[in-house]
Amino acid sequence: MRKNTLFIVAALLGVLAHFAINPPVMNASPGASGVGDPYFPHLGNGGYDALHYTIDLDTDLAASTISGTVTMEARATQDLSRFNLDFGGFTISSITVNNRPASFTRENRELMITPAQAIANNAEFDISVTYSGTPGRNLGASASPFSRGWTFYGGGAYVASEPDGASLWYPVNDHPSDKATYTIIMTVPDPYIVAANGTLEDVTRTNNHRTYTWENHDPTASYLVTVNISEFVRSDDTVVDGVPIRNYFPAHRQAVGEQVFSNTAHMMETFNEVLTPYPFEAYGAVVADTSLPFALETQTMSLFGNNILRGDSGAQVVIAHELAHSWFGNHVSPATWRDIWLNEGFATYASILWVEEHYGHDVAMNAMDSWYNVARNSRVIIGDPGRENLFSISVYFRGAWTLHALRERVGDEHFFEIIATYQNRYAHGNAEIADFIEVAEEISGRNLDGFFESWLYQANIPPKP
C-alpha cells in the first residue's frame, strides 16, 4: 500500500510539474483565415507572427518536382486552438507543431492546422510541413506572369510570386504585412547552381548533387522570396559603401551580362545619396536563362529574364527600377495591396532620378513627358486601383508624376527629407498611403490633402506642374 501511495503522489507531482511548465490554454480559439486585405481578403492568416522560415527542398528538374520540409518559427498573438497557413497543391506527408504530430485539413489554399496542444498567447512555436509534388499542378495558371511562384523552364527554374504566388510553392503566411527572415537550403543535381535571397553561406557536394544554403537575415515579405536554378556563373561586381554586388548570369552569357549590369554600382551610389543608404546586406541580379515578360525586385537578388541582356537604355531603366524597389517595396513594404503606389510609383520615379544623373535632365524629362502622355489616357485611380489594375501602367507612370509634382510643390530640400523620413520611420516594416501623406505634411509644414486627392484619387490626371 505504501508503495502505491508513493507512486500516486509521484505521478501527481509529475502532472503538476507538467502543467506548471505547460499550463493549459483554457480559452483558445482559431486564428483568422485572412488578414482582411481589401483586394485579397483571404491572403495571410491571423493569430500569429511569422519569425523565420527554413525552406529545405530537393529539386528534380527532369521530373519538374520539389520535395522536402519547410519549418516556420512563429509567435502566437492570441491563445490558439487552430491556425492556418497559405499553401496550394502538393501532397503533404506530415505536419508537426513543436515536434508533435498535428492534424490538418485543406480547402483551396487554406491549410488548417490543429496542434496536439493549444498554443498560449505570446508563446513561440514551430510548424514543420513535409510535402512533395509539382508546383502549380491542377491549380490553374495565374493571369499575372510574375505571380506563379515556382516555375520550371527548359534550362532550370525561377521563383516569382507577386502578389500571391508564394503559397504555390511553400507553406507561408502569405501577406507582406507579416515579414520574416529566411534560411533557404536547396539541393540540385550537378552542374546546376542556386541563387536565392541574402548571402550564400555554404555549398556541399554529395552523390553528384550540390546543396546550397542561403541566409537572409533581414525581414522579407513572402512575395519577395526567390529561388533560381540554372547553369549560372557568379560574377562579383564591386562593393558600394560596404554592400557587395554579385550577379548570376547564364554561363554562356557572362560577358554580355557583366556589360549590361555594369551601371548597377553607379545606380546604388546615386540612390544612397538621394534616398537613404541601401538597407540590406547584399545586392545583385539573377538572369534566368529564358525570356520573361517582366522583371521582379526579389529581395537582394532581383530577377530578370535573358531578354534584359539586349542592354539598351530601356533595359537600364528597368535595372534601376528593380534596384530602387530595395527601398520602396522591400525595405518599406505596403501595408495592404491597395497601397501598391508606394511600390511602383516610387521605384519608377527613383529610376528617373538615376536617368537624370546618368543621361542628363533633358533625357529624364523627355521620358517623364512620354509617361505623362500615356497616363492621361487612363482613368485608373492609382491610390485605390483595384485588384484587376494592381499593375496598371498608370500606377507606374502617373505614380511617378505624383512624386515629381510633390517635389515641385514642396521643393527639393523638403522632398528628399520626406523620402528619408519615410524610409527611416517605417524601416523593415510596412506603411500605407496615409502614412506617407502624414510624413509629407509633417516635413513640408503644408496641408496637402487637396494635392494628394487630385493626384491619387481622381480619374483624370492633373495638369503637369
Beta bridge partners, 119, equal 80
Encode burial over 50-62: b for 16+ CB neighbours within 10 A, e otherwise: bbbbbbbbbbebe
**From CA 168, how far away is CA 149, in angstroms rounded?**
6
- The model's pLDDT over 88-106, given as tens digits with 9 standing for 90+, comes to 999 999 999 999 999 999 9
Read off the DSSP letter of residue 369.
H
Segment 364-368 shows an average pLDDT of 97
Which pLDDT score is estimated for 139?
A: 84
Segment 3-21 shows an average pLDDT of 44
Q: How confident is the model at residue 381 (pLDDT cuts 50, 70, 90)?
A: very high
The domain locations on the chain are: 25-230, 332-456
Mean pLDDT taken over the chain: 94
- The model's pLDDT over 42-72, given as tens digits with 9 standing for 90+, comes to 999 999 999 999 999 999 999 999 999 999 9
Q: Which of 19-28, 75-84, 117-126, 152-161 has the lowest mean pLDDT?
A: 19-28
Q: How confident is the model at residue 6 (pLDDT cuts 50, 70, 90)?
A: very low
Type of residue found at 145? P
Nearest to 346 by CA among 415, 245, 447: 415
Which pLDDT score is estimated for 144?
A: 77
The residue that leads in pLDDT, 30 or 4, is 30
Which pLDDT score is estimated for 138?
A: 79
- The model's pLDDT over 131-165, given as tens digits with 9 standing for 90+, comes to 999 998 878 767 677 899 999 999 899 999 999 99
Confidence check: pLDDT of 20 > 90:
no
The separation between CA 50 and the C-alpha centre of its own chain, rounded to angstroms, equals: 14
Collapsed DSSP state (helix, strand, coil) of residue 257:
helix
Counting residues of the chain whose pLDDT is more than 90, the rounded percentage is 91
Collapsed DSSP state (helix, strand, coil) of residue 74:
strand
Read off the DSSP letter of residue 458.
-
Class of domain 332-456: mainly alpha
Segment 443-463 shows an average pLDDT of 98
Confidence check: pLDDT of 201 > 80:
yes
Q: Which of 3-12, 320-329, 432-441 has the lowest mean pLDDT?
A: 3-12
Confidence check: pLDDT of 2 > 70:
no
- The alpha-helical segments, DSSP class H, found in 152-275 are 254-260, 264-274
Confidence check: pLDDT of 385 > 50:
yes
Secondary-structure breakdown of the chain: helix, strand, coil percentages, each rounded to the nearest 5:
35, 30, 35
**From CA 188, how far away is CA 116, in angstroms rounded?**
35
- The model's pLDDT over 244-296, given as tens digits with 9 standing for 90+, comes to 999 999 999 999 999 999 999 999 999 999 999 999 999 999 999 999 999 99
CATH of domain 25-230: 2.60.40.1730
146 CB-side CA count, 13 A: 20
Which pLDDT score is estimated for 330?
A: 98
Nearest to 173 by CA among 217, 140, 221, 216: 221
- The model's pLDDT over 159-199, given as tens digits with 9 standing for 90+, comes to 999 999 999 999 999 999 999 999 999 999 999 999 999 99
Nearest to 433 by CA among 343, 311, 369, 347: 343
Grid cell 527629407 in the structure block, residue = 417
* Contact present, 216 and 183 (Cβ < 8 Å): yes
One-character DSSP codes across 218-259: EEE-GGG--EEEESEEEEEEEEETTEEEEEEEEGGGHHHHHH
